[in-house]
Structure 1
Amino acid sequence: MATGLRELKKQQTRQAISNAATRLFIERGFEAVTITEIAAAAQVAKMTVTNYFPRKEDLALDYHQTFAPSLARTVADRSAGESALAALRREFLAGVERHDAVIGFSSQGFARMISDSPTLTARLRDLHDQREDALAQVLATDTASAPGDLTARAAAALLGAAHRTLFEHIMDLTRQGQSNRQIASTVTRSAHQVFGLLETSLADYAMR
C-alpha cells in the first residue's frame, strides 16, 4: 500500500510539473521560460523538475517515451496475416478516433508553441528519427534481413515519412483553429490517401 501511494505521489508531482511548464510555454514561448520559473509555478524545487525531466524539451513533449517506440510496437504486435503497412494504418486510424497526441492531436496554443520554437521543432524531428530507427530494427528482425540488406531500413523510412506527413498535417490543421472532430474527418481521408501510396511496394511486406 505504501509503495502504491508513493508511486501515485510521484505521478501527481510529475503531472503537476508538466502542466505548469506547458502553461508557461504556451503563454510566453518555450525559449523564454526557465526551469526555475517552472519549479516555482509547480511549487517544487528546481532539482525536482530536473529529476523528472532531465531535458527541458521533454517538459513540452512529455509523450516522448511513448512516441519513439510507437511504430515499432504496433508492428511487433500485429496480428497473424497482417502486414506492417496494414497494422500501422489500422493503428493510425484508431489514433485518429481517439484524437491521440502521439499522432499529432493537441490544442491550438500547443501546436503554435511547437512551431514557434526552433528547439522544440528540432527535438520533434529527432523523435521522428528515433521512431523510424526503432521501426527499422523490428522490421529487420521480423523479416530476418541479411547483413547489408537495406530493405527494412528503406521500408521504415517510407512508413516513417507517411506518419511524419500526417503528423504535420494534423498540426497544421490545429494551428488553423479547426476542432478535433473536423481534423479527424479530414485526416481520415488523408490517411487513406497517404498509406494508399505505399500499397504497391509494401502491401505484402513483413506479413505475419
Structure 2
Amino acid sequence: MMIEENPGPGSGEGTAEPAPTLRERKKRETRQRISDEATMLFVARGFDQVTVAEIAKAAQVSTMTVFNHFPRKEDLYLDRIPEVVELVTAAVRDRAADESPLAALRALLLGLLDQGHPLAAVSDGYPHFWRIVLDSPALRARAREGVEEVELALGDAMYASDPAGDRPDPRFAAALTVAAYRAVYVATAGRLLAGDRAADVADDHRSRVNEAFDALERALYGTTA
C-alpha cells in the first residue's frame, strides 16, 4: 500500500543508478497500478471482503499477473516489507568503516523520520492504514511474518559485515534491534490511533528511537553512541 509519495533514501550518496529499461518501467507501472487498485478496494470494503480476481479486473490484468507481482494477497497491502528489508540491510552493508551497525541503523531510522518517509510511520494517514491491518487476521499474521523477515535479513547482514565475530552475536543483535524498534513503532502507532497528530508525535518518536539505540549500545557494546 502506498501511503505517501516520498522516495526512500538511496543506498549510497552520489551513486548513479542506471536508468531502468522500458520493460522494467512497464513492470513497475503495472505493479503500482495493481497496488493502487487493491488499496482503493481494501479501503472501500475491507481487506477480507475483496478477492484477488476483483483486484485483477480493476487493474485490467490477469489474476496470474497479480500473483507474479505479489505472491500473496496480503502482500498487496503490506507491499513495503521488501523495501524495509533492503533499507536495513543496505544500511549495515554500506556503512562507513568506522561506523557500527547500530549507528548506521539509528541514522537510517532518524533519516526516514526527517524525510517523512512512510516507513517512519509518523503520518496522519497511518491510523487508517493500521485499522485495516488490525481488522484482518490475515494481515496481522503477515505483518508478524514481515517482522521476522526483517530480523532474519538483518542478522545475515550483520554476520556478513563481521564474519570474524568481533562484534556481538549477529542473530542476537538483530533480534534485540528489531524488538527495540518495534516497541518504539507500536508506541507511536498507538498514539496516532488514539487521535494524536503526527506533528505532536514526531519529537517523542525521535526521542524514543534514540533511547532505544542508547540502550542497545549499552547492552551490546557496553557504551553509548
Q: Distance in 1 between the 2:120 and 2:140 partners?
A: 15
Q: Which amino acid aligns with 2:202?
A: A
Shift in Å at residue 10 of structure 1? 2.2
Q: Indicate if the aligned counterparts of 2:109 and 2:120 stay in contact, CA closer than 8 A.
A: yes
Check 1:143–1:6 CA distance in 2 against 1; reply closer, same or farther (3 A cut): closer
Shift in Å at residue 202 of structure 1? 2.7
Q: Distance in 1 between the 2:160 and 2:69 partners?
A: 33
Q: Indicate if the aligned counterparts of 2:85 and 2:154 stay in contact, CA closer than 8 A.
A: no
Q: Distance in 2 between the 1:159 and 1:195 partners?
A: 8
Q: Give the match for residue 109 of structure 1.
A: 128
Q: Which amino acid aligns with 1:198?
A: L
Higher-RCO chain (CA-CA 8 Å, sequence separation at least 6)? 1
Question: Which deviates more, 163-172 or 47-56?
Answer: 163-172
Aligned ranges 1:88-167 → 2 under 5 Å: 88-105=105-122, 107=125, 108-145=127-164, 151-167=169-185
Q: Distance in 1 between the 2:26 and 2:117 partners?
A: 25
Q: Give the match for residue 25 of structure 2.
A: 8
Q: Give the match for residue 51 of structure 2.
A: 34
Seq. identity, %: 39
Q: Helix, strand or coil for the counterpart of 2:141?
A: helix
1:173 aligns with 2:223: no
Q: Distance in 1 between the 2:58 and 2:191 partners?
A: 31
Q: Indicate if the aligned counterparts of 2:92 and 2:161 stay in contact, CA closer than 8 A.
A: no
Q: Give the match for residue 17 of structure 2.
A: none
Q: Which amino acid aligns with 1:112?
A: R
The unaligned stretches of length 5 or more in structure 2 are 1-19
Q: Distance in 2 between the 1:183 and 1:196 partners?
A: 20
Query: Pairwise CA RMSD of aligned residues?
Result: 2.5
Q: Distance in 2 between the 1:8 and 1:144 partners?
A: 37
Q: Which amino acid aligns with 1:98?
A: Q
1:24 aligns with 2:41: yes
Q: Indicate if the aligned counterparts of 1:111 and 1:174 stay in contact, CA closer than 8 A.
A: no
Q: Which amino acid aligns with 1:23?
A: M
Q: Which amino acid aligns with 1:156?
A: A
Shift in Å at residue 133 of structure 1? 1.1
Q: Distance in 2 between the 1:17 and 1:180 partners?
A: 29
Check 1:36–1:52 CA distance in 2 against 1; reply closer, same or farther (3 A cut): same
CA deviation vs aligned residue, 1:129-186 (integer Å, no higher than 9, x gap): 111111112222333356xx98221111111111212222333233234443333222
Shift in Å at residue 203 of structure 1? 4.3
Query: Aligned pair count?
Result: 202
Q: Which amino acid aligns with 2:96?
A: S
Q: Distance in 2 between the 1:46 and 1:112 partners?
A: 27
TM-score by length of 1: 0.85
TM-score by length of 2: 0.79
Q: Indicate if the aligned counterparts of 1:83 and 1:203 stay in contact, CA closer than 8 A.
A: no
